[in-house]
């Protein structure tokens, strides 16, 4: 059950945000072994100066369209699965909403099942 936080600069259209959300979800389903109905995302939009990143660190150049995706996942995935997901994600986001692959950064953190409550005060 991944939970994704998507951070980007403010000013994108609702259609852009929907395409970003959908592209991430489709890549998670297709390449990260996530069920179709398992979708939990928050989009954080930041003013200039509130999303700080190095334009050239281990890649780049990065532009004002930079997107940081922080995924909290329940169980770990193997390296091949993560690499497949990264490639699928940037391909999808390149098509719609048109984000350059160098502008997509992903951080995956895993947690134990007992660190999640899906509602009602129940642990997993």
pLDDT tens over the chain, length 124 residues:
799 999 999 999 999 999 999 999 999 999 999 999 999 999 999 999 999 999 999 999 999 999 999 999 999 999 999 999 999 999 999 999 999 999 999 999 999 888 888 889 888 7
Q: Is 34 helix (H, G, I), strand (E, B) or coil?
A: coil
Q: What is the 3-state secondary structure (H, E, C) of 50-71?
A: CCCCCCCCCCCCCCCCCEEEEE
CA 115 – CA 25 distance, rounded (Å): 22
The residues carrying an active-site annotation are: 2
Task: Name the nearest CA neighbour of 69 among 116, 109, 97.
Answer: 109
Q: Are 23 and 6 in contact (CB under 8 A)?
A: no
């Amino acid at each position: 059950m991944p939970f994704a936080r998507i951070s980007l600069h403010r000013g994108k259209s609702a259609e852009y945000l929907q395409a970003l959300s959908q592209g991430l979800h489709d890549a998670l389903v297709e390449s990260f072994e996530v069920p179709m109905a398992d979708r939990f995302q928050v989009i954080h939009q930041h003013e200039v100066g509130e999303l700080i990143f190095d334009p050239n660190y281990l890649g780049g150049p990065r532009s004002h369209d930079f997107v940081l995706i922080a995924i909290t996942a329940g169980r770990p995935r193997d390296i091949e699965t993560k690499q497949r997901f990264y490639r699928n994600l940037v391909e999808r986001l390149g098509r719609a909403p048109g984000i350059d692959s160098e502008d997509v950064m992903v951080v995956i953190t895993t947690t134990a099942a007992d660190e999640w409550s899906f509602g009602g005060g129940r642990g997993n």
